[in-house]
Amino acid sequence: MAIFIASTKSISRGKGQSAIASASYRAGVELEDKRYGKTHDYSKRSGVMSTDIILPSALAAANAGIDRNDLWNKAEAAEKRKDARVAREWLINLPHELSEQDRKALAHRFAQTLADRYGTIADCAIHKPTQREIERGADPRNYHAHIMFTTRCAEINDNNEIILTDKATIELSDNKRRSLGMERVSHEITDVRQLWEQIANEKLTEHNHELIDSRSYHDQGKDIEPQIKMGSVATKLERDKYESELKKAVQAKEEGKHYEIDKTPATVRGEINLMINERNRLVRTRELADLRESQLFVVPAAPTSKYKPSQDSNDELEQAESVVERVKQARIQRQIALAAAEKLEKQRIAQRQRDIAAQEEHERLLAQEEARQAKLEQQRARIAVEEANFKKQHDHISHQGLSSQHRILKTI
């Protein structure tokens, strides 16, 4: 059964990311960052099936061309802000039921449609799970595409060179979009997800495969509890534990011993997802059992002679519901913990701001006092100079000899 995945994220300098480094990693090639004079080399990376630059149809018709290194250096150079978004990535899951050529055609059609819609350039890299990832527990059917788009529209200048100009509409803020009579970006992203659903289902229909659905499980009416996002840190912890247990098993086998691999999750998120998987398995088992029993019954007659009671007891269903409740409680506790942590963080930030304000006020008062003292010193120095000049003039007059007229007047 094909799985629907179509998610997007921005690649931003504010997160310490680089469009050049991201493109190098996804394409598995070496790229030079001219902005910082660095080289990103992921040419030894495995699992990359194909990489292609996809231009808007208008530029392709004009026989314009650009290589990956030049493209992403221009994308970086076009942004001046230190927290600017330098690229947008769409991650799509490619149906494993299709052939390699069909999967590639699907990814390219999706990328071409978005490139034409927004006037941006796409860099499409198709990946498959590596053998090492499969050994760690990855699904070998996980074919997917990383499609990076420039955040600015591409045009051709007078020298027949590709340049990046204004921001694409999907990159505009909600306020700017509202002023242009457009809906919020979230609506745009929903439209793009539905676009991928439509494109993929057209190809799946051709081969009579089950279709994908962009709606949530709840909207589809399915009793499936979605897993929570693991994140890079938790994923690394789970991977490290698995590799450690695998090494212990290999070492024990070499020594002629048996070692049972500990499959207990290493993180709380892993435990929650394990409970969710168990709950979904039990619910699905119960649904299949109910379906089998309903098909064996002929209403209103009694069950046929082939009927066998379900081996799935109500205890399992209760266990499933118990797992659901535990998952919900775990999520509630996690939300409470996150809310408490967020509150503490806000308090810490507020206290930090108060401390900074108090420090700035203290420094302002110190600077004001220093300026007042400096002014007093200047006044004292000026008074001292004036007193010295007065004293000098007084002494000069006191010791000056009397003129002849003064002597005559004194004699008289």
What is the number of H-type helices and E-type strands within the chain?
12, 9
Q: Is the peptide bond before 303 cis (omega within 30 degrees of 0)?
A: no
Residue 122: its H or E element? strand 122-127
In a domain, 2, yes or no: yes
- DSSP alpha helix (H) spans, 255-313: 268-296
> Is residue 72 assigned to a domain?
yes
Residue whose token pair is 């409470």? 336
The predicted pLDDT at position 73 comes to: 96
pLDDT of 138: 77
CATH of the domain at 57: 3.30.930.30
Q: How far apart are CA 16 and CA 7, in angstroms?
A: 21
- Domain residues for the domain of 145 are 1-214
pLDDT of residue 245: 85
Is 155 a member of any domain? yes
3-state secondary structure (DSSP) of residue 33: strand
Answer whether residue 391 is part of any domain: no
Helix, strand, coil percentages in the chain from 3-state DSSP, rounded to 5: 55, 15, 30
Cα–Cα distances in Å, from 270 out to 114, 227, 264, 364?
Answer: 35, 10, 9, 52
Q: Domain for residue 160, yes or no? A: yes
Tell me which residue has tokens 């002494």.
395
Query: 152 with 167: CB under 8 angstroms?
Result: yes
Judge whether 5 and 58 are in contact, CB under 8 Å. no
Annotate 317-344 with DSSP letters as a single string: HHHHHHHHHHHHHHHHHHHHHHHHHHHH
- Strands 152-156 and 143-149 turn out to be unpaired
Query: What span, in angstroms and rounded, lies between the C-alpha atoms of 110 and 92?
Result: 9
Q: What is the pLDDT along the chain (412 residues), one digit of tens a residue?
A: 678 899 999 999 999 999 999 999 999 999 999 988 999 999 999 999 999 999 999 999 988 899 999 999 999 999 999 999 999 999 999 999 999 999 999 999 999 999 999 999 999 999 999 888 887 777 888 999 999 999 999 999 988 899 999 999 999 999 999 999 999 999 999 999 999 999 999 999 999 998 888 877 777 777 777 777 777 788 888 888 888 888 888 888 888 888 888 888 888 888 888 888 887 777 777 666 666 656 555 444 444 445 454 454 556 556 656 666 766 676 677 678 777 877 887 888 888 888 888 888 888 898 999 899 999 999 998 898 888 888 888 777 766 655 666 667 767 7
Instruction: Tell whether 389 is covered by a domain.
Output: no
Contacts by 390-396 with C-beta closer than 8 Å and gap 24+?
A: none
Separation between Cα atoms, residue 167 and residue 12, nearest integer Å: 14
Q: What is the dihedral of CA 278, 282, 283, 286, to 10 degrees?
A: 170
What are phi and psi for residue 287, nearest 5 degrees? Answer: -60, -40
d(Cα 331, Cα 324) in Å, to the nearest integer?
10
Which residues sit opposite 343 in a β-bridge?
A: none
Q: Which of 96, 66, 75 is nearest to 17 (CA)?
A: 75
Cα(131)–Cα(122) distance, rounded to whole angstroms?
A: 28
Cα–Cα distance between 128 and 408 in angstroms, integer? 124
Match 């500990």 to its residue by tokens: 262
Predicted local distance difference test score (pLDDT) of residue 307: 45
What per-residue confidence (pLDDT) applies to 241? Answer: 85
- pTM: predicted TM-score of the whole model, two decimal places: 0.64
Q: Which tokens go with 230?
A: 């693991």
CA distance 69 to 29: 10
DSSP summary character for residue 183 = -
Is 63 part of any domain?
yes
Whole-number pLDDT of residue 319: 64
Number of domain units in the chain:
1
* Total Cβ atoms within 10 A of residue 363: 10
Q: Does residue 374 form part of some domain?
A: no
Q: What is the DSSP letter of 280?
A: H
> Which residues make Cβ contacts (< 8 Å) with residue 367, sequence separation at least 6?
none
